[in-house]
Structure 1
């Protein structure tokens, strides 16, 4: 009895399976925020428009201890959607808000010196606070500028905030930072005062 027949049979089965799985491998490829075809703005929807610079230049990626994990996913678009959804109800009728995110440094960082078991683990400690830089233009119903400028947001006490809780959203600290900025730029009482 020779071993060639079973091995060649197994090889044929393996090659056939590889051929069947090949189309699915392309569809299942990992997405990165730095991909050339990744969006750089949200689709136009409502009074708030949000765009962002190329994330490859963001502090989160440039200074990360694990650039592969820092690039993975669509976290920039998720933050942009949260920003739009939180800001839109605070605008008065006819007002518009244009926001451009120019830098993000997410809370936490990777610590490769802890060994290979923790290579893809983000350690969230107070020495790694969330930071976001953005530029904005806020206009009234006639298109006149109400306010504009650049804001450098940072929350050094982000771990002390009991309102963020122990949720599982990996972007909870950055979302809270954006919510605080919107609340300071567009206080809830200004909307009711206009009516």
Structure 2
């Protein structure tokens, strides 16, 4: 198993992301680390090259953002992304270019392993997750507002998972 480190904007693939951003009151933000394990073997992360790199960078940014929103101050969250299968499928069209077509049978799926550590470094929660959304097409109206961003269905799916897994447990 190979972990591929990547730098956002340069080609991507792993993003350790300590959130040391400035917050009001001098508080520290949650620390989030995202690793893509063997991304070249993922089920579907877009067309190889620029498209797949851009999609992985977008996923990393979103995972980091959700972690910052949901993980309690002082805790750290490590996410190892093991597989990605984006919503829809690329299909070749008459015009000579590929187009991602959304159908009921091609729902988004992401497999990952997470480790949540408390401020003292002890493991508070750990597990494997298979995050998927078989009803992703029913979100069309919901994701329309997010459609200007990359991967709106995957973003909505991950937002819901973070809400269930980490946000609600914070109080």
- Bin the TM-score by the shorter chain: 0.7 to 0.9
Partner of 1:45: 18
Taking the aligned partners of 2:95 and 2:91, their CA distance within structure 1 comes to: 11
* TM-score relative to the length of structure 2: 0.77
Structure-2 change in CA distance of 1:183 and 1:105 (3 Å): same
Preserved contact between residue 78 and residue 116 of structure 2 (Cα < 8 Å): yes
| Structure 1 position 108 matched with structure 2 position 88 | yes
Structure-2 change in CA distance of 1:149 and 1:172 (3 Å): same
Preserved contact between residue 16 and residue 32 of structure 2 (Cα < 8 Å): no
Structure-2 change in CA distance of 1:111 and 1:137 (3 Å): same
Preserved contact between residue 136 and residue 153 of structure 2 (Cα < 8 Å): yes
Higher helix proportion (structure 1 or 2): 1
Partner of 1:7: none
Taking the aligned partners of 2:149 and 2:95, their CA distance within structure 1 comes to: 22
Structure 2 unaligned blocks of 5 or more: 1-5, 20-30
Structure 1 residue 72, shift from structure 2 partner? 4.4
The residue matched to 1:89 in structure 2 has which SS?
helix
Partner of 2:66: 86
Structure-2 change in CA distance of 1:70 and 1:119 (3 Å): farther
Partner of 2:100: 122
Preserved contact between residue 60 and residue 70 of structure 1 (Cα < 8 Å): no
Q: CA offsets, 1:25-60, max 9 Å, x none?
A: xxxxxxxx9xxx843311432211111113210000
In our comparison, the structure showing a higher alpha carbon Rg is 1
Structure-2 change in CA distance of 1:69 and 1:96 (3 Å): closer
Superposed CA RMSD: 2.4
- Number of residue pairs the alignment of both structures matches: 150
Structure-2 change in CA distance of 1:179 and 1:118 (3 Å): farther
Structure 1 residue 105, shift from structure 2 partner? 0.6
* TM-score relative to the length of structure 1: 0.68
Preserved contact between residue 135 and residue 151 of structure 1 (Cα < 8 Å): yes
The residue matched to 2:129 in structure 1 has which SS?
strand
